[in-house]
Amino acid sequence: MNYWLMKSEPSVFGIDDLASTPRKTTAWDGVRNFQVRNMLRDQMHKGDLAFFYHSGCVEPGIAGIMKVSCAGHPDSTAFEPENPHFDPRSTPAKPLWYAVDMTLVKRFKQRVTLTEMRRHAALKDMLILRRGNRLSITPVTAKHWHYILKLAVAI
Partner DNA sequence: GCCAACGTTGGC
Contact residues for DNA, defined by CB under 7 A:
7, 9, 33-35, 55-57, 60, 114-115, 118, 131-136
Give least dist CB 121 to DNA, A.
16
> 89 or 109, CB closer to DNA?
89
> 94 or 134, CB closer to DNA?
134
Give least dist CB 23 to DNA, A.
26
CA distances from 127 to 37, 64, 137 (A): 17, 18, 10
> 65 or 90, CB closer to DNA?
90
Please give the single-letter amino acid code of residue 78: A
Please list, residue by residue across 62-81, b when 16 or more beta carbons sit within 10 angstroms of its beta carbon and e when fewer do: bbbbbbbbebbebbbbbbee
CB 154 within 8 A of CB 58: no
d(CA 120, CA 142): 16
> 60 or 74, CB closer to DNA?
60
3-state class (DSSP) for residue 33: coil
Give least dist CB 98 to DNA, A.
13
Angle at 133 between CA 59 and CA 118, to 5 degrees: 50
Give least dist CB 131 to DNA, A.
5
